[in-house]
Amino acid sequence: MGKVFNTDGYCDPEINYMVNLTERLEEIRAMVDAEKYFVINRAF
């Protein structure tokens, strides 16, 4: 059986697709530290 997407709970790299977000999180942290960020929430 191949890897599957998991959208709930613990992800196991052996059976679930994984995305490395380290670089993006570093960019986000730099923006937060510089107070240069905003949030957009969609209506329900």
> Residues 1-44: pLDDT tens digits?
799 998 888 989 999 999 889 999 999 899 999 999 778 787 76
Q: What is the pTM of this model?
A: 0.52
pLDDT at 4: 92
Q: Which residue has the tokens 């960019």?
A: 27
Domain that holds residue 5: 1-44
Largest CA distance in the chain: 45
Structural domains of the chain, count: 1
pLDDT at 17: 94
